[in-house]
């Protein structure tokens, strides 16, 4: 992967309002759940959150956040990591996972309930809705 292609990929990753996230927001909106998008005053600026009710949701792309036991990326290892520069990608994904864990920890120590929804889980809408309800109705 050339540097040019790589930086374009990284830009794409940083882009907010990716499709899975929009899907989740649509579900929340339809359920009448109030939320704020990318609140920068919270650790990791969660995709959606509510400071009054103290909950935060991250919608994680399976590849970039290293989803373990993922059907889509086959256990989070191998299949989708480009063969060229694979150590670069592995390191990148590991760093993402560590950062995710740190942010989760910080949020929880602030009294937040944190829900992580993986991109591949969004397909099972009913189960996502059930998890959202548990979170917002606590």
- Can residue 62 be called a binding residue for Zn ion (CB under 5 A)? yes
- Can residue 67 be called a binding residue for Zn ion (CB under 5 A)? yes
- Can residue 120 be called a binding residue for Zn ion (CB under 5 A)? yes
As a whole number of angstroms, the distance between CA 88 and CA 1 comes to 10
Q: How far is the CB of 110 from Zn ion (least distance, A)?
A: 27
Concatenating the DSSP letter of every residue in 97-115 gives: HHHHHHHHHHHHHTT-EEE
Q: Which of 28, 48, 59, 70 forms a contact with Zn ion (CB under 5 A)?
A: 70
The interface region with Zn ion, picked from 3-11, 20-28, 61-69, 102-110 by CB under 5 A, is 61-69
Q: Is 77 helix (H, G, I), strand (E, B) or coil?
A: coil
Nearer to Zn ion (CB atom), residue 42 or residue 122: 122
Residues that bind Zn ion (CB under 5 A): 62, 67, 70, 72, 118, 120
């Amino acid at each position: 992967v050339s540097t040019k292609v790589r930086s374009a990929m990284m830009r794409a990753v940083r882009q907010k309002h990716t499709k899975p996230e929009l899907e989740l927001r649509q579900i929340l909106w339809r359920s009448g759940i109030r939320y704020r998008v990318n609140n920068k005053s919270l650790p990791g600026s969660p995709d959606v959150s509510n400071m009054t009710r103290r909950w935060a949701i991250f919608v994680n792309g399976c590849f970039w956040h290293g989803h373990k036991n993922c059907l889509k990326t086959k256990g989070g290892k191998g299949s989708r990591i480009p063969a060229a520069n694979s150590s670069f990608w592995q390191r990148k994904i590991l760093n993402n996972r560590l950062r995710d864990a740190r942010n989760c920890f910080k949020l929880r120590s602030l009294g937040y309930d944190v829900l992580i929804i993986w991109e591949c889980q969004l397909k099972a809408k009913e189960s996502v809705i059930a998890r959202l309800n548990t979170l917002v109705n606590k």
